[in-house]
């Protein structure tokens, strides 16, 4: 991009975005002085990235890389351009979270420092403040993300692209009512495929599967670019997978890959679906492609567990070693590493890690589930039970979470509830994990048939919240009791 063209760059908008369990950033720089008499020309890669970001949509990765190069060249000659530094920071954060590469996050932080040095927050540098919130979210610092997001919202309440950041932050802190209110505010301020996709995720988190799928279909119909279409159809694939429909998921992921042939989430999703359908060689191929394109920690763990399920112990150990040794730019890192230690390492270390996350206020259903599972694996099923219940009470219908709850109840000798939850996990998705679904089947078979004379009782209060919570927000071990049923 030539210098004359770069001189028109003057304004930035940052937004937070997310796809299955990621926090990402979108960005925009707009020319203020357009030559309206010039003939139209096709947009370049950096301009395409900016156009996508204007809608809050994901930019194609090559376009994002082009935008980074353009801003780096511009700032080498114009180091006092606060807006351009904020653009560059957002692009670094986006690339880092997209690729799971932690090296981009310090670059983003330095760029934001330069932006604030050129234009302090007190003088109106809202872009950099929002960028700090997005960066905090990329690091899994949900308290920091919330604080920055709320600060920006107070200063500019009608700035729509603050609300995706707040939704992610509230979800990460387990404050789902606040996340839903932020979603309502976002829908009043802005429309289009990105917001419809966000709404679909909120419905999914509440267990409203039909609403989630219908809204995700709306997002796909409204998508205007190949990157938007790939993201929308990948979301539809995710929803089909979570409903236990791997064949439909495979079709929807295939549609996403027709729009962007190396779309990381679609490659990973197709790998899951292929494994569930018994096409394990193809699944391994797609896992390799997904990890080459987007090596996120959750993908590394899943690929390792498929290898372990297939008896490829060397490949599994290599995946688990890569996960332990990596420096990850993903808000899911603490949960993934906790599950890695719980199932394939030191469960005690997993408990320490996840307790620390809980103490920081990270009380999402994902953290509750992982902490409960780690406690169970460490030999503390009584303490694990309230966390596992909390993970399944919010509304999300997860076969994995329900399986964890059933195994914990089985360890406590609560045969009736264990049987019900193991059956439910397999009913939600019979092939939810190549490693754990067969274990769920074996555990259920080991429980035998229920005693017709037994009358199951459930001592959970109406609404399903565990009885009694400590002041730190943790469920009281053993506080939620349930009558044992044979």
Structure tokens at 183: 């979603």
User: Could you tell me if 421 and 403 are in contact, meaning their C-beta atoms sit under 8 angstroms apart?
Assistant: yes
User: What string of DSSP letters covers 326-392?
Assistant: --B--TTHHHHHHHHHHHHS-HHHHHHHHHHHHHTT---HHHHHHHHHHHHHTT-HHHHHHHHHHHH
Closest of 248, 368, 309, 407 to residue 423, by C-alpha: 407
pTM above 0.85? Answer: no
Query: Which of helix, strand or coil describes residue 312?
Result: coil
Measured between alpha carbons, how far is 58 from 103 in angstroms, rounded to an integer? 20
The one-character DSSP state at 477 is: T
User: Could you tell me if 410 and 423 are in contact, meaning their C-beta atoms sit under 8 angstroms apart?
Assistant: no
Structure tokens at 319: 């995946």
Measured between alpha carbons, how far is 123 from 110 in angstroms, rounded to an integer? 19
Burial class (CB in 10 A: 0-12, 13-18, 19+), 307: buried
SS (H, E, C) 235-252: HHHHHHHHCCCHHHHHHH
Measured between alpha carbons, how far is 339 from 250 in angstroms, rounded to an integer? 26
Query: Which of helix, strand or coil describes residue 29?
Result: strand
Measured between alpha carbons, how far is 237 from 213 in angstroms, rounded to an integer? 10
In Å, how far from its chain's centre is CA 455?
40
pLDDT at residue number 59:
73
Measured between alpha carbons, how far is 38 from 470 in angstroms, rounded to an integer? 66
pLDDT at residue number 482:
39
Burial class (CB in 10 A: 0-12, 13-18, 19+), 349: middle
Measured between alpha carbons, how far is 58 from 229 in angstroms, rounded to an integer? 10
pLDDT at residue number 44:
73
Measured between alpha carbons, how far is 346 from 167 in angstroms, rounded to an integer? 33
- Mention every residue, 6+ apart, whose C-beta is less than 8 A from residue 223: 57, 193, 229, 231, 232
pLDDT at residue number 101:
81
Measured between alpha carbons, how far is 443 from 28 in angstroms, rounded to an integer? 52
- For the stretch 28-73, pLDDT in tens is 343 332 344 545 556 677 766 766 665 566 677 788 888 899 899 9
User: Could you tell me if 92 and 71 are in contact, meaning their C-beta atoms sit under 8 angstroms apart?
Assistant: no
- Mention every residue, 6+ apart, whose C-beta is less than 8 A from residue 255: 233, 236
Structure tokens at 105: 């996050």
Q: Tens-digit pLDDT profile for the chain (486 aa)? A: 443 333 333 333 333 332 222 223 333 343 332 344 545 556 677 766 766 665 566 677 788 888 899 899 999 999 999 999 998 999 999 898 888 788 899 999 999 999 999 999 999 899 999 999 999 999 989 999 999 999 999 999 999 889 999 999 999 999 999 999 999 999 999 888 889 999 999 999 999 999 999 999 999 999 988 888 999 999 999 999 999 999 999 999 999 999 999 999 999 999 999 999 999 999 999 999 999 988 899 999 999 999 999 999 999 999 999 999 988 878 889 999 999 999 999 999 999 999 999 999 999 999 999 999 999 999 999 999 999 999 999 889 999 999 999 999 999 999 999 999 999 999 999 999 999 999 999 999 999 887 666 555 554 444 444 444 444 555 655 444 433 434
Domains of the chain: 1-32+41-161 (1.25.40.10), 313-447 (1.25.40.10)
Residue with tokens 């295939």: 254
- Reported as type and span, the H/E element at residue 16 is strand 9-17
Angle at 70 (CA atoms; ends 195, 326), nearest 5 degrees:
70
Measured between alpha carbons, how far is 143 from 327 in angstroms, rounded to an integer? 21
pLDDT at residue number 24:
31
Please give the C-alpha separations between residue 1 and each of 5, 58, 71, 189, 379, in angstroms, as whole numbers.
7, 21, 10, 33, 60
Measured between alpha carbons, how far is 284 from 272 in angstroms, rounded to an integer? 9
User: Could you tell me if 400 and 425 are in contact, meaning their C-beta atoms sit under 8 angstroms apart?
Assistant: yes
Measured between alpha carbons, how far is 164 from 159 in angstroms, rounded to an integer? 11
Query: Which of helix, strand or coil describes residue 456?
Result: coil
């Amino acid at each position: 991009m030539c210098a004359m063209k770069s001189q028109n760059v003057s304004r930035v908008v940052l937004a937070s975005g997310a796809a299955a369990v990621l926090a990402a950033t979108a960005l925009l720089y707009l020319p203020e002085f357009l030559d309206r008499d010039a003939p139209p020309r096709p947009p370049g890669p950096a301009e395409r990235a900016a156009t996508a970001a204007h809608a809050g949509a994901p930019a194609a990765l090559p376009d994002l890389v082009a935008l980074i190069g353009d801003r780096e060249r511009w700032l080498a000659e114009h180091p006092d351009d606060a807006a351009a530094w904020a653009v560059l920071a957002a692009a670094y954060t986006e690339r880092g979270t997209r690729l799971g590469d932690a090296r981009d996050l310090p670059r983003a932080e330095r760029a934001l420092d330069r932006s604030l040095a050129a234009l302090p927050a007190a003088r109106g540098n809202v872009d950099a403040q929002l960028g700090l919130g997005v960066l905090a979210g990329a690091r899994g610092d949900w308290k920091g993300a919330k604080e920055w997001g709320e600060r920006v919202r107070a200063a500019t309440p009608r700035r729509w692209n603050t609300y995706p950041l707040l939704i992610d932050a509230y979800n990460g802190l387990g404050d789902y009512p606040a996340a839903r209110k932020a979603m309502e505010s976002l829908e009043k301020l802005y429309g289009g495929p990105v917001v419809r996709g966000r709404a679909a995720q909120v419905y999914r988190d509440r267990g409203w599967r039909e609403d989630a799928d219908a809204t995700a279909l709306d997002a796909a119909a409204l998508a205007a670019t190949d990157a938007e279409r790939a993201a929308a159809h990948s979301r539809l694939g995710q929803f089909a997978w979570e409903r236990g429909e791997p064949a439909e998921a495979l079709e929807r992921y295939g549609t996403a890959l027709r729009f962007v042939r190396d779309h990381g989430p679609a490659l990973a999703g197709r790998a899951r679906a292929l494994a569930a359908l018994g096409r394990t060689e193809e699944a391994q191929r797609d896992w390799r492609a997904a990890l080459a394109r987007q090596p996120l920690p959750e993908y590394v763990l899943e690929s390792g567990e498929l290898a372990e399920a297939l008896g490829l112990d060397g490949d599994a150990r290599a995946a688990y070693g890569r996960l332990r040794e990596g420096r990850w730019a993903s808000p899911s890192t603490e949960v993934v590493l906790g599950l890695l230690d719980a199932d394939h390492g030191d469960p005690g270390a997993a408990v320490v890690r996840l307790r620390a996350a809980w103490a920081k206020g990270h009380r999402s259903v994902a953290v509750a589930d992982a902490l409960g599972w780690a406690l169970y694996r460490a030999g503390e099923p009584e303490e694990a039970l309230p966390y596992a219940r909390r993970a399944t009470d919010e509304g999300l219908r997860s076969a994995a979470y329900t399986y964890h709850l059933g195994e914990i109840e089985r360890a406590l000798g609560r045969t009736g509830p264990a049987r019900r939850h193991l059956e439910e996990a397999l009913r939600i998705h019979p092939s939810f994990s190549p490693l754990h679904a067969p274990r769920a089947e074996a555990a259920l078979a080991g429980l035998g048939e229920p005693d017709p004379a037994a009358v199951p009782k459930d001592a959970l209060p109406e609404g399903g919240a565990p009885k009694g919570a400590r002041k730190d927000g943790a469920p009281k071990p053993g506080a939620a009791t349930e009558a044992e049923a044979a």
